[in-house]
Amino acid sequence: MEKAPRKPIFCSTPVIFLVVLSLLYIDLFWANFISFDRWKKDCSNSETIFNNRKIINETDEEKQNSLDFLFSSLLAGEDRSKLKATGFACNTAVHSIHCVTNRPVMIDTRTMTVYIPSDQPVQETVIKPYARQEDHNLLKIVTPVKILHGNTTPPVCQHNHEIPAVIFSSSGFVGNVFHEINEIIIPLYITSKNFKSRLLFILEDYKQSFISKYGKVISRLSSYEVMNPAADQSVHCFPGAVVGLMFHGHLSLNSSDVPKGHLMRELRQFLRQAFNLKFSHVSQIKRPTLMLLSRRTTRRFLNEDEMVAMMEDLGFRVIVVARAKVVSNLNIFANLINSCKVFVAAHGAGLTNELFLPNGAVMVQVDLVGLEWAGATYYGNPAQAMGVHYLRYKIEPEESSLLKVFGRNHTVMTDPRSVHDPLGKEAYLNGQNVRINLARFRETLVEALSLVGDSTL
């Protein structure tokens, strides 16, 4: 049987070869295409990472520049130039001293020493961080802070912080609302507000009563727990620090003083938010409510009941506050006084609470013998910047209890400016009470009522 002829292999092999080669080429192409796509993605990811790093670096740089700006804003003129050149400068004034460094610092809370390393010869600065530098007797109870700036060997850091520190004292006249707010709270606001809570407070002469009383204010100025150096006893590192607080004047903020731009109305809004006060303007209060701050020791109203009857006869709803627990509890008292259209008090620390009155309210100060300057300086003059009407009721000699003690012709009555302490303090502050002339005082209250009835402040 004849075999079938075999098909020539060479005829089909080139075709198969070409098909296989094509498949290999296609597979290689897609593999390379996928690799290229991955390469592009990798490049894109790398670029993204690079850009992100750039953004992070820029953010850090901006943050540092911002911190430098904030530190420099606390100084002016040559002091600011010195800070830029050396990293450390102090501003000194009659009332306050504060020092600023924009360099990394080590703060040893065991000795309250601030180390600012540099290649310059060591300089030592000692300050007491309290805003009443002119009162030398008061400063005796304020713990000093030592600042060593220059080529010194600081202790090893035990705690590192990414935020600056502010050191101040709660010594002095703590317990007296005027001195607490005038010399600590307002200066603390001025010094730290622009840092937007990104700082840590180190409180010298730490008093828990002060923290409890003003905790709502302090927690809005710093997001961090206040440090008690006496209880801490360790070494902390910060990117910069402020020692001492800025002071603009009694119950005052001046937009032209460094740091520029602070306004009293902003402070009052800040306090309203801190204490959750209800009323921002007197027009929001329906009834003509009047608060009479009653004193139980010195500078008492001897005919207080008659005063209250006359106030009620004029149409006021009268709130008489005399209990120390109410006055000292700022959370309660701030809300109580915020609900009033008129606030009446004899000269004294209690008038500081005019800060919590709504805009357009009236503060009536009963101005006692020998206290005219203090009454205007501490409470009367600041009232206008607060958006509060100020009425001054100046008593006659016959209304003061001092008339019976010294007589009409004594220097205490005729020339108070020539009477110095200790006689002046004992007579005018500690030894004086008042019996109000109701007819004269009624005229003052009628004026107050007309002001709150049509207030546009």
Whether 115 and 232 share a structural domain: yes
Q: Is 45 within a domain?
A: no
Contact 176, 132 (CB under 8 A): no
Distance CA 63, CA 198 (A): 11
Please report whether residue 400 resides in a domain: yes
Same domain, 284 and 413: yes
Quote the pLDDT of residue 60: 52
Residue 403: give the domain boundaries. Answer: 278-453
For residue 454, the model assigns a pLDDT of 59
Mean pLDDT of the 223-236 span: 97
pLDDT at 356: 98
Alpha helices in 133-253 (DSSP H): 136-139, 177-180, 186-192, 208-221, 229-232
Angle, vertex CA 175, rays to CA 169 and CA 180, nearest 5: 50
pTM exceeds 0.75, yes or no: yes
* Res. 326: pLDDT tops 90: no
More confident call, 25 vs 260: 260
The answer to whether position 396 is within a domain reads: yes
248 and 310 share one domain: no
**Measured between alpha carbons, how far is 354 from 356 in angstroms, rounded to an integer?**
5
Other residues' Cβ atoms within 10 Å of the Cβ of residue 140: 9
Q: Look at residues 229, 262, 295 and tell me which one is the last residue of a structural domain.
A: 262
pLDDT tops 50 at residue 11: no
Least confident of 5-19, 62-76, 224-238, 313-327: 5-19
| Average pLDDT of the chain, as a whole number | 86
The pLDDT > 90 percentage for the chain reads 74
- Closest among 199, 184, 167, 160 to 95, alpha carbons compared: 184
Q: Is the pLDDT of residue 244 over 90?
A: yes
Per the structure, how many domains does the chain have? 2
Is pLDDT at 19 greater than 60 in this prediction?
A: no
Do 135 and 254 belong together in one domain?
A: yes
Give yes or no: residues 252 and 285 share one domain.
no
Percent of the chain at pLDDT > 70 equals 84
Q: Please answer whether residues 227 and 280 qualify as being in contact, where contact means their C-beta atoms are separated by less than 8 angstroms.
A: no
pLDDT at position 33 is 39
State whether 285 and 208 are in the same domain.
Answer: no
